[in-house]
Amino acid sequence: MQNILKQFNIEAVNSGASTGSQWLAAGGPELVSSSPVDGKAIAAVRTATRGDYDAVVQKAAEAFQAWRQWPAPRRGEVVRQVGEALRSSKEALGRLVSYEMGKSLQEGYGEVQEMIDICDFAVGLSRQLHGLTMHSERPGHRMYEQWHPLGITGIISAFNFPVAVWSWNSMLAWVCGNVCIWKPSEKTPLTAIACQQITAKVFAANGVPEGVSGLIIGEREAGAWMAEDPCIPLVSATGSTRMGKSVGAAVGARLGRALLELGGNNAIIISKEADLDMSLIGCVFGAVGTAGQRCTSTRRLIIHDSVYDSFKDKLVKAYGQLRIGNPLDEQHHVGPLIDKQAVDMYLAAIEKCKAEGGRFLVEGGVLEGQGYESGCYVKPAIAEVENGYSIVQHETFAPILYLIRYSDLDEAIALQNGVPQGLSSAIMTLNLREAELFLSQSGSDCGIANVNIGTSGAEIGGAFGGEKETGGGRESGSDAWKAYMRRQTNTINYSTKLPLAQGIKFDL
């Protein structure tokens, strides 16, 4: 790991405030990043003060005046080169993601690949920032719409995807002509520094103005500065529903824009006509991948009565085969939770579930002994529950899977929708009518609805996000780029007269 730290010059930086290639002498308290893999300190960084934050914002505002004048395809070419730099750094950055966050090495590599993919998407997008043309009711007039950059995009990201979510936002924002300031999770600051170093080299080689890529590392108050700052027209925040409500209220109070990607409480419906063996793979990965710390992690399985017992037995057997340990060892399926606070929440959720009447088929607990010295490794658990339990209605960021019975599809859909969150959902069925009903306006109320794949592992080509307490935001693919721009409607009169709309007469 020391070689990786040297490759990205992380230990030499020791600063939590950057305008791109320039690192400020950050004056805040020191933040030590420790790995949940082994509990060891990786490196320390000085957090940003309010003064550091203001300096980064000022530089970003100056850079925007120049950056927005660059033609979009030229901005896209810079992003293409960022993608190439990420390809060259994929192994090292993927390992750093895995070690600092605790996800499996394959998932670490996958996260960097997701960054590369969004760069490719953004390059194509740079030539497609198009508006509509409309016929005017007035003769000799033409109407059309165009899209302009907003200015500074503030990005608040979570620990579970420490680099990918930043790339979803920044690559699209950059090709749209915005500049970005990133506030990463205080639990994973080193991966953010590595990304800043990668980007800075590409930007410097292309003469990109200093300030287009800003970085602020700090505790929660740094996110509050961003949310309350009228200089930042758009704040994209990923995290818990509690955090999102706070950010949304602060941004809304100043009539800014908030793009919120918040909690999920995702369910898979297992139909009596499902391919149970195929379903098992999606359910187990969805529940234990990233140790249950994805916003799209599978929290609930809603299983038809006729296959409930047989599928339950398959799950219990599969859980008995899970290998838990160091995520850098590719033989392991499950790594650690992010920290001991997460472990405490996991244990509290298990006790709450039992108190409400839940019956555990696979017991949870904290693993101890050789290889588990960090105290962050836990056992994936399975419990039979009722959907109405308060703990089931709540998102627990840990590998706890709840099993619920159903007898007909309308009931299953009602159970699926019967939680405050609305991010990802899925049905496993070979029945076309069931699949179509699930995807219809009478079906899933989530932003993502899948058939015969799990809730976890979205591709970058589609817009990502959810409804209800998930926040309503959309990132990544499709037309999510419009969130980073302002729409302008234009009317051009090329006639010799000035008629008014709606036939209004105003003669002088």
Residue positions annotated with a catalytic role: 261
Q: Is 222 exposed, middle or buried (0-12, 13-18, 19+ CB in 10 A)?
A: buried
Residue type, 451: V
Q: Is 40 exposed, middle or buried (0-12, 13-18, 19+ CB in 10 A)?
A: exposed
235 has which bridge partners? 154, 258
For residues 265 and 420, the answer to whether their CB atoms sit within 8 Å is yes
46 has which bridge partners? 30
Residue type, 500: L
CB-facing half-sphere around the CA of 283: CA atoms within 13 A = 29
Residue type, 188: T
Question: What tokens does 355 get?
Answer: 């108190």
CB-facing half-sphere around the CA of 364: CA atoms within 13 A = 29
Instruction: Return the closest-CA partner of residue 280 out of 349, 357, 382.
Output: 382
Length of the chain in residues, anyone? 508
How many angstroms separate the most distant Cα atoms in the chain?
A: 91
Residue type, 359: R
Residues 6 or more apart in contact with residue 12 via CB below 8 angstroms: none
Give the neighbor-by-neighbor strand order of the sheet with 17-18: 17-18, 213-216, 179-183, 152-156, 234-238, 257-261
Report the C-alpha gap between 362 and 467 in whole angstroms: 31
The residue assigned the tokens 């109070």 is 253
* Helix (H) or strand (E) segment spanning residue 406: strand 400-406
Question: What tokens does 211 get?
Answer: 């300030």
268 has which bridge partners? 301, 426
